[in-house]
Structure 1
Amino acid sequence: MTRSRSGGLLPLNPEIDRTCRQLRRQQRARLATEERIDGHLSRDSEEEYGMDGEYNPHQGNPQQAPPVNKVLGNNPIPQADGVHHHHQPPGPTLEYYYTPRIADIRPVILYPPIPANNFEIKPCWIQLITSSIQFHGLKDEEARVHLSRFLQLANGFKLNGVPDGAIRLHLFPHSLAGNAKRWLETQPPLSITSWDDLTDKFVHMYYPASKTTEIQREITHFRQEPDESLRDAWERYMGYFWQCPHHGFSDAFTVGNFYSALSPDSQRVIESLCPGGDILTKTPPELNQMINTLAARDHSWGQSS
């Protein structure tokens, strides 16, 4: 006969299904409570230790936290100062700074729009200019002479509906060479917008104020050379006025200064054509015309002083 175990038997439960349902609800409630507790502890741990598990005593109290750079992603970079810095992408290499870029190359001249259709500078025009007139910017070259010769050629180039200034603006760079060409190429990008603008800059560069002062001095100190004819002296004298049209001298000074610069023989030739031998009876334009007539008549006037 089997000996009975100690302890009583469980009482008979007539509603076993109902009891099972209650037990399952209690178990689910207990699990939910445990999850809430675990989640709260996890958040406290993250606030205290940080996402990377490193202890930070200022977590959870932003007012005491020292300013640090924001972390990009989950990969902060620790530096020697112990602060996590944002990882910046690398900047341009030295090759970027030392290599020219086509986008940085811009023309010096901003050409105005042309209303005419099919506008084209003829190659023969460019060839004529490059083969006949070239200005290098040398000391013995005259900027005004170059401009005058360029205009003599450019005035013969015409296109229907195209302003003369636009044609000149396209052609003038082809008349420069050497230092003058480099001067134009080193002007600020798009700084020249018209023909007048280009000529102003060209004259300012190669016809400075000192040039004007020099020519004015040549005029005021002019003297007829020994064995120089009246015609040669007059042409040389007027050449200074042609080089410097902004000389500022009056017509009276121009002819009076020339007369006083002549040799006595040349002066007597001029006086012989004036009433009573007195040049003061002539107006400046009359005296100017008279000298022109004498100079054109014969090369031999006033050859001896």
Structure 2
Amino acid sequence: MFPPNAPHVEIKQGLLAILPDFRGFENENPYMHVKVFEEVIGNFYATNVIETAKLRFFPFSLKDKAKGWLYTLKPKSIGNWGEMTQEFYKKFFPPHKVQQVKMRISSFIQGNNETLFTAGERFKDMYNFCLTHEYDTWRLVSYFYEGLQPRDRQFIQLSCGGGFLQKEPEYTMDNLDEIAENSNTWSGPNPLDSTDRNKSGTTTSGGNVFRLREEDNMSAKISLLTKEIEKLKLKGSRGCNDVFR
């Protein structure tokens, strides 16, 4: 199945013992397998032979059902490593699975009690699970932002000085996790939490007292948010200009 003129590559001592295994089970991720496999091979072979080494030793990482699939490939049908991974993904992560992942990404919604940090980690796991989702970076950023609760969309806008979706998508995606991590350092209640636990039920005719208390509470929340952002800056946060450099 491999090109007949491929250069010979010797097996390095200890290589086969640390290769990851892939058996073709439903719960296995072929993208993760290839990623780990490439990392292992990259630690053993030089750049000029690494592509050949990947082709040469990939079969040793396959077991059971996956090994059986490999033997069904036609002779000389694989000319390079890219063709091998393409066939591998097509078999063990077929198009209908890709569509399922794409639907989960595009319909992402943050849970009511889910923190910004946890939501960010969950979203990253979604799009990293299938590397052939073919979504552009700007679209991923948009799906994530639009799926957030209003309180966290507001937090991101305040952290960036506004215009979050108008910034360069590569920078927003690369550094969005920094904003989420900063939010994870907050202590106490979320200053943008829409639930006001201290709100009094006392009202007068026309609701003037209630409205005044709402205004006081909002002012307190804004003040607390400002203080928390200043704390983040003092702790070494690079701020918006640096985060989206």
TMscore range, shorter length = 0.5 to 0.7
Note the 1:263-278 alignment, pairs <5 A: 263-275=149-161, 277=162
Find out whether 1:284 has 2:169 as its counterpart.
yes
1:124-154 deviation digits (Å, cap 9, x = unpaired): 111221xxx1111111111111110100101
CA contact 2:12–2:44 (8 Å) conserved in 1? no
**Aligned equivalent of 1:175:** 61
User: Take 1:122 and 1:290, find their aligned partners in 2: how far apart are those partners?
Assistant: 39
Q: Which has the higher contact order (CA 8 A, sep 6+)?
A: 2
Task: Show structure 2 runs of 5+ residues with no match.
Answer: 195-245
> How far apart in 1 are the matches of 2:42 and 2:111?
38
Q: Is the CA contact 2:157–2:163 (under 8 Å) kept in the aligned structure 1? A: yes
In the alignment of these two chains, the number of paired residues is 190
**RMSD, aligned α-carbons:** 2.8
**Whose helix proportion is higher, 1 or 2?**
2
- Separation of aligned partners in 1, 2:117 and 2:39: 26
Q: Following TM superposition, where does structure 1 have runs of at least 4 consecutive aligned residues deviating by more than 4 angstroms?
A: 300-305
Task: Give the Cα–Cα distance (whole angstroms) in 1 for the partners of residues 38 and 32 of structure 2.
Answer: 10
Larger Rg: 1
Contact 2:117–2:183 (CA<8 Å) still a contact in 1?
A: yes
Return 5+ residue gaps in structure 1 as ranges.
1-107
Find the partner of 1:166 among 52, 64, 73: 52
Q: Secondary structure at the match of 1:219?
A: helix
**How many Å separate the matches in 1 of 2:49 and 2:10?**
13
Match of 2:236 in 1: none
Q: What pairs with 1:35-184 in structure 2 (closer than 5 Å)?
A: 108-114=1-7, 119-129=9-19, 133-158=20-45, 163-184=49-70
Matched to 1:120, the amino acid is E
Separation in 1, partners of 2:16, 2:156 = 48
Q: Among the aligned pairs, what percent are the same residue?
A: 27
Instruction: Give 3-state SS (helix, strand or coil) of 1:272's partner.
Output: helix
Judging changes above 3 Å, is the alpha-carbon distance between structure 1 residues 189 and 282 closer, same or farther for their aligned structure 2 residues? Answer: closer
Offset of 1:283 from its aligned partner? Answer: 4.2
How many angstroms apart in 2 are the aligned matches of 1:224 and 1:213? 21
Summarize the Cα distance change of 1:300–1:210 in structure 2 as closer, same or farther, 3 Å threshold: farther
Alpha-carbon shift at residue 298 of structure 1 (Å): 4.7
Shift of 1:242: 2.2
The alignment status of 1:243 with 2:123, answered yes or no, reads no
TM-score, length of structure 1 as denominator length = 0.54
